[in-house]
């Protein structure tokens, strides 16, 4: 990228997409066409691509995205949870922020989980860095990563009651508030 055309690129999204051969958005859309059961939806917003992944296939999707040469998402930058609130359904999101150390592109995978069944297969077998991220998400949201080698609380004490980052957990004190 030269100095002169950077201003145009930041304003013009299509031009920046033309620089790369295949954008994460196109790659995710292609994967959706190939395996419709893996990915339910691909959303582009604010120059970021989000692929909504079916929970049961997350390990297969991650392993594919990591190993396929055109995607080569070999770096799990981040894994975190979101609580949309106790009245929402599905209630929880788990976000996987993928990065490629060779192609420098990024992709977000998103899994939606219900309040009754917050279980996700672990991706520690794909990236070992997922270990602590998943422990943190378990610790603060109560999302259970099935098959995780060492699923213990990481930031809060072992005897902590409840999940601190859930929306119904109070900012102060220990008693969850009631919406009624």
Partner 1 sequence: MSSSVRLPPSVEIVDQPLDTQMTISMGPQHPSTHGVLRLELVLDGEMVVKAKPDIGYLHTGMEKLFEYKKYQQGIVITDRMDYLNPLGNNLAYVMAVEKLLQLEIPERAQTIRVLFCELQRIASHLVWLGTHALDIGAMTVFFYCFREREKILNLIEAASGGRLTPSYFRIGGLMMDLPPGFERRVQQFQEAFPSAVDEFHKLLTGNKIFQKRTQGVGYISAEDAIDWGLSGPCLRGSGVKLDIRRANPYSSYEQYDFEVPTENGGDVWARYLVRMREMKESHRIVGQALARLKPGPVKADAPKVVLPDREAMKRHMDALIHHFLIVAEGFDVPVGEVYLPIEASKGELGVYVKSDGGPKPARVHVRGPSFVNLSALPHMSEGAMVADIVAIIGSLDIVLGEIDR
Q: What angle do CA 75, 76, 82 make, to 5 degrees?
A: 160
In DSSP terms, 121 is beta-bridged to: 146
User: Contact between 132 and partner 1 (CB under 8 A)?
Assistant: yes
Question: φ, ψ for residue 61 (rounded to 5)?
Answer: -65, -45
What is the closest distance, in whole angstroms, from the C-beta atom of residue 113 to partner 1 in the complex?
A: 15
DSSP secondary structure letter of residue 134: H
- Residue of 14, 21, 104, 180 that binds partner 1 (CB under 8 A): 104
Instruction: Select the span of 32-40, 52-60, 101-109, 115-123 touching partner 1 (CB under 8 A).
Output: 101-109
11 Cα distance to chain centroid? 27
Helix ranges restricted to H, the chain? 6-11, 13-19, 24-34, 58-67, 130-141
Of 34 and 70, nearer to partner 1 (C-beta) is 70
User: Contact between 83 and partner 1 (CB under 8 A)?
Assistant: yes
Query: What is the binding site for partner 1 (CB under 8 A)?
Result: 1, 3, 6, 45-48, 50, 74-78, 80, 82-84, 95, 97, 99, 101, 104, 106, 108, 127-129, 131-133, 136, 140, 153-157, 164-165, 169, 171
């Amino acid at each position: 990228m030269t100095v002169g055309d950077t201003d145009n690129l930041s304003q013009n999204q299509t031009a920046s997409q033309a620089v790369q051969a295949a954008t994460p958005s196109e790659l995710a859309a292609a994967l959706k066409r190939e395996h419709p059961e893996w990915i339910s939806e691909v959303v582009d917003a604010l120059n970021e691509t989000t692929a909504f992944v079916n929970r049961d296939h997350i390990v297969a999707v991650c392993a594919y995205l990591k190993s396929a040469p055109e995607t080569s998402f070999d770096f799990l930058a981040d894994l975190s949870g979101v609580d949309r609130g106790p009245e929402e359904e599905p209630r929880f999101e788990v976000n996987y922020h993928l990065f490629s150390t060779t192609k420098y592109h990024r992709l977000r995978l998103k899994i939606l989980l219900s309040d009754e069944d917050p279980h996700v297969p672990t991706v520690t077998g794909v990236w070992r860095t997922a270990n602590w991220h998943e422990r943190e998400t378990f610790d603060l949201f109560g999302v259970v990563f099935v098959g995780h080698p060492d699923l213990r609380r990481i930031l809060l004490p072992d005897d902590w009651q409840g999940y601190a980052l859930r929306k119904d957990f109070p900012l102060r004190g220990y008693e969850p508030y009631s919406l009624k």
